[in-house]
Amino acid sequence: MDWEKIATELSTDTPSKIILLVMDGLGGLPRNGKTALEAANTPHLDKLAAKSVCGLSDPVFMGITPGSGPAHLSLFGYDPLKHTLGRGILEALGVEVEVGRNDIVARGNFATHKEGMITDRRAGRIPTSENALLCEKINAFLKSREGPRIQMYPGKEHRFVVKFSGKNLCDALSDADPQKENKPRTYTQPLDNEAQRTAIMVNSFLDDLTEFLKDSDPVNTVLLRGFSKHPSLPSMQDLFKIRPVALANYPMYKGLAKLVGMATVDVGPEIEDLFDTLDEIYLDYNFFYIHVKKTDAAGEDGNYDAKKVAIEETDTYIPRLVDKNAEVLVVTSDHSTPSLLKSHSWHPNPFMLHAATAMPDGIDRFSERTCSQGYLGRFQAIYAMPLMLAHAGKLKKYGA
Amino acid sequence: MDWEKIATELSTDTPSKIILLVMDGLGGLPRNGKTALEAANTPHLDKLAAKSVCGLSDPVFMGITPGSGPAHLSLFGYDPLKHTLGRGILEALGVEVEVGRNDIVARGNFATHKEGMITDRRAGRIPTSENALLCEKINAFLKSREGPRIQMYPGKEHRFVVKFSGKNLCDALSDADPQKENKPRTYTQPLDNEAQRTAIMVNSFLDDLTEFLKDSDPVNTVLLRGFSKHPSLPSMQDLFKIRPVALANYPMYKGLAKLVGMATVDVGPEIEDLFDTLDEIYLDYNFFYIHVKKTDAAGEDGNYDAKKVAIEETDTYIPRLVDKNAEVLVVTSDHSTPSLLKSHSWHPNPFMLHAATAMPDGIDRFSERTCSQGYLGRFQAIYAMPLMLAHAGKLKKYGA
């Protein structure tokens, strides 16, 4: 199915508005018979469900646990099997590194080696503050060094992002990381001919940096993984003829949104800030992606109760969404994060769509199991975008 | 999935019979809480549902509103994203033009220009009778004219179909239509090299015809759109080893059926005529496509009550279908036409399949929402054909 091609042909620019509320990691598994969503008191989500059409969506396909990248791409109407986002680019987005068309980024670890053998892949998980100081020192060194522009960006503990800037760089590079300890330092290998020059450049950087750090302790080398360029995705404007904006408190989700051409705005750290900002910009766009992180963070922490609280907190703002009277209002998730698993999972997302043209299906409780009885059935999340566009009157007829 | 290739390998010729009743545009949206199908009194459809397996089918995929072409192709077991039907060919089928392998057809408007500017794209919607006389006059002129054989066929009001016959004609041609009024007359442009000769021929026809009509009022030129050749579809006989026949009162659906190799028979204008004709030819074929138009026509008119009446009328003939004791009896639709929208829509089709091997699922009411709870779930309509063939014992095992 070439949905992108079909979308380009069928989509039309209309003033109708679409609100997509993503409660990250919403789906879960039961504790004492109830998931966090089932246990939560959600009068407003339930009231909305009663007027909506419901279903369950699989982010990629059944059984596949997606990262945040493919899970969001799919919701944004992009085939997650066709468009892949390197780990480097996602990490870079997460620390707010601007990645241009001539840049390559990789994520890195500060590490410890002894006579060329990696003895600690995380250099004892150095404190984040030390990481920041180290990056500053290295950046000063890199400025004085010959060769292409290279910049380090500190992350948490031992993690960082490195950006190489220059013409004709190629990201077809293997990881410069032995993956296990007590193995020798590893150089990157070019994965095709075009990447040879870039591999030499990266390896020379690795040697120079290791030389520069030789008397430092515990960090005396670095490991690099997930080399990636800025992916060239067609924009949502071009594909769907919409004016999209992202409301998200976390940099990675703003970054993901930018990759598909969404505008981004500054939003405060609280759930309430998302809805306050929506009020301010509501007239300026016609597609609103609103990202709630707390549900996923609680799931990742294995904290069932915190997840339930995050759901209940989000529920209190649903009336503010409903009051917008957007032509289409969808509440769903990018992927499930059961607190039982403390991680993303392959379980499907509860999904509800409210629109004048939606078939009410009698589901009056928004949850994983009630949505499985909905009129939309179980579907791949890439169909969320055609559904939203159709219900917003933005898709012409296919064929005569 | 290359279902056509798989079908060719697995299908076997058996005497078992399949009846496919298509109630065009059947699905709808609620008025006062009920769709036309839900409000209709349909004792026979309901009784059949109780013995059938039910589901909801999406003609193309979720969110896509199909034209009649892709919606039917899908039901007939053809991938609607792989096989596309030009607008010209469908229009031609609708006015019963025979289109051969060496022909190109386009749909046209009689129009008015003033010194080369199109002032009325529909020439004041001239009466259909005037259209017929005009076509006759033009055809006489075209007969006397040098060049390839060209024939005009009148449609309703200002609409007609034109057929160009000759070797090596190519339909990669842009519309000869400025689309808007107060724009200059437009020539067709070849969309590839192969079409250059055809474009010159079409444009010379346009000039000669405009010259011929120069003193005529209000029609003094024509606009042409949707140039298309006869599509080369593999036949249902070859793919599925069946002997198919179409029972339809409307030319376009007979034409669609012919495109996939179905036999067609003359049928009177009433719903009852479909079933009378079925009686007459029942021994001669083993796949029967029966097309009821009234449900769609009422939906297109926005006439909920007429749609309900059309459904109830069709219901009275269901016992005559059941009495045939075909191995497989399916009742469904090609696409939805909610009277609320007065047009085709992207909503799924109610679907029921009756066969000795069908799992009865306790659904004892045939409607959109009851079918959503059926054992077949929600599926893409292209799977209707493998299901029908399987339940008719016409598909061998796939793989060892």
Q: What is the per-residue pLDDT across A238-293, written as a single tens digit (0 to 9) for each?
A: 999 999 999 998 888 998 999 999 999 999 999 999 999 999 999 999 999 999 99
pLDDT of residue B94: 80
Cross-chain CB nearest to B70 (options A361, A374, A399): A399
Return the residue in B1, B31, B37, B64 with the most chain A beta carbons within 10 A, the one to mutate for interface testing. Answer: B64
Please compute, for residue A343, the number of CA atoms within 13 A of its CA located in the half-sphere on the CB side: 6
Q: Cα dist. B385→A78, B79, B217, B329, B391 in Å? A: 29, 11, 51, 12, 10
Pick from A29, A37, A31: nearest CA to A292: A37
The whole-angstrom separation of Cα B93 and Cα B254 is: 8
Hey, which bits of B213-334 come out as E strands?
A: 221-229, 244-248, 263-264, 287-292, 328-332
The whole-angstrom separation of Cα A214 and Cα A112 is: 10
Taking 80 as the threshold, does the pLDDT of residue A1 lie above it? no
Question: Could you give the 3-state DSSP secondary structure of residue B349?
Answer: strand
Answering whether pTM is above 0.95, one says no
User: Is the Cβ pair A361, B346 closer than 8 Å?
Assistant: no
User: Is the Cβ pair B63, A387 closer than 8 Å?
Assistant: yes
For tokens 């279903």, the residue is: A55
User: Is the Cβ pair A389, B63 closer than 8 Å?
Assistant: yes
* CATH code for the structural domain at A3-84+233-391: 3.40.720.10
Residue of A nearest to B338 (CA): A357
- What residues of A are in contact with residue B64 (Cβ under 8 Å)? 6, 10, 386, 390, 395, 398
- What residues of A are in contact with residue B85 (Cβ under 8 Å)? 399-400
- Structure token digits, residue B367: 């409607």
Cross-chain CB nearest to A386 (options B64, B70, B84): B64
Contact indicator for A296, A24 with CB cutoff of 8 Å: yes
Lowest-confidence pick of A91-95, A317-321, B187-191: A91-95
- A300: distance to nearest CA of chain B, Å? 32
Locate the domains of chain A by residue range.
3-84+233-391, 90-229
Question: Could you give the 3-state DSSP secondary structure of residue A179?
Answer: coil
Neighbouring C-beta atoms of residue A212, cutoff 10 Å: 15
Cross-chain CB nearest to A400 (options B60, B62, B67): B67
Single-letter code of the amino acid located at B18: I
User: Is the Cβ pair A389, B91 closer than 8 Å?
Assistant: no
* CATH code for the structural domain at B3-85+234-391: 3.40.720.10
- Structure token digits, residue A270: 């609280």
Pick from A391, A375, A370, A381: nearest CA to A45: A370
Residue A35, judged by CB atoms within 10 A of its CB (0-12, 13-18, 19+), counts as buried
User: Is the Cβ pair A378, B373 closer than 8 Å?
Assistant: no
Taking 80 as the threshold, does the pLDDT of residue A334 lie above it? yes
- Count contacts between A and B (CB, < 8 Å): 90
Taking 80 as the threshold, does the pLDDT of residue A357 lie above it? yes
Pick from A157, A227, A237, A220: nearest CA to A195: A227
- A137: distance to nearest CA of chain B, Å? 54
Q: Cα dist. A293→A30, A75, A248, A300, A309 in Å? A: 21, 16, 8, 11, 13
- Structure token digits, residue B123: 């020439």
Listed in sequence order, the residues at least 6 apart from B178 whose beta carbon sits closer than 8 Å to its beta carbon are B118, B184, B185, B186, B223
Contact indicator for A138, A149 with CB cutoff of 8 Å: no
- What residues of B are in contact with residue A378 (Cβ under 8 Å)? 377-378
Pick from B366, B379, B391, B260: nearest CA to B23: B366
The whole-angstrom separation of Cα B239 and Cα B242 is: 8
Neighbouring C-beta atoms of residue A255, cutoff 10 Å: 25
Return the residue in B56, B61, B78, B367 with the most chain A beta carbons within 10 A, the one to mutate for interface testing. Answer: B61
Q: Provide φ and ψ at A142, rounded to 5°.
A: -65, -30
- What residues of B are in contact with residue A400 (Cβ under 8 Å)? 67-69, 85-87, 90-91, 226
Question: Could you give the 3-state DSSP secondary structure of residue B138?
Answer: helix
User: Is the Cβ pair A400, B56 closer than 8 Å?
Assistant: no
User: Is the Cβ pair A377, B373 closer than 8 Å?
Assistant: no
pLDDT of residue A297: 94
Residue of B nearest to A389 (CA): B63
H or E stretch covering B350: strand B349-354
Cross-chain CB nearest to A399 (options B29, B69, B338): B69
- Structure token digits, residue B208: 């000669």
Pick from A246, A314, A313, A247: nearest CA to A274: A247
User: Is the Cβ pair B64, A361 closer than 8 Å?
Assistant: no
The whole-angstrom separation of Cα A167 and Cα B5 is: 47
Looking at chain B, how many residues does it have? Answer: 400
- The tens-digit pLDDT sequence of chain B (400 residues) is 699 999 999 999 999 999 999 999 999 999 999 999 999 999 999 999 999 999 999 999 999 999 999 999 999 999 999 998 888 898 898 888 988 889 999 999 999 999 999 999 999 999 999 999 999 999 999 999 988 999 999 988 999 999 999 999 999 999 999 989 999 999 999 999 999 999 999 999 999 999 999 999 999 999 999 999 988 899 999 999 999 999 998 888 998 999 999 999 999 999 999 999 999 999 999 999 999 999 999 999 999 999 999 999 999 999 999 999 999 999 999 999 999 999 999 999 999 999 999 999 999 999 999 999 999 999 999 999 999 999 999 999 999 8
User: Is the Cβ pair B64, A375 closer than 8 Å?
Assistant: no
